[in-house]
Amino acid sequence: MLEIEEAIKDDIESIIEEMKELAMEPSKEIQVRYNDVSIEVGATLLNMCCMYSTIKKHDIALRFAMRAILILEQIFKSEVQDIVPFELQEGGEMSPQQARLIQTISSSYHNAAAEMEHLG
């Protein structure tokens, strides 16, 4: 059982390292569009934050949370605010994409604050 846990841990750490390299590489510009895929990029970075926080690597977790915030805010500013301050659908409700974006940005800020608290 212990061997399986170690193998899983090694696999997860390998995947995390690859994701970290992709997400944190400053030379790569991430082109974002206001669609489900780009919002999911931010959500994935937020999940990486949670994974690192779980293994008590709060400095790395904070970087993932901040990267998620940067990407999601870029989506918000470039696509949503420039058009109209959140056009509401009939009945006065946000679209599912708008709701997902706001939810993910809010969660990113919450997680960043939690990681800052862990770091003192």
CA–CA distance, 16 with 80 (Å, rounded to integer)? 31
In order of their start, the domains of the chain are: 32-119 (1.20.58)
pLDDT in tens, 28-80: 444 444 455 678 888 999 999 999 999 999 999 999 999 999 888 887 776 55
pLDDT in tens, 71-88: 888 877 765 554 445 555
CA–CA distance, 27 with 30 (Å, rounded to integer)? 10
CA–CA distance, 30 with 26 (Å, rounded to integer)? 10
- pTM, two decimals, is 0.64
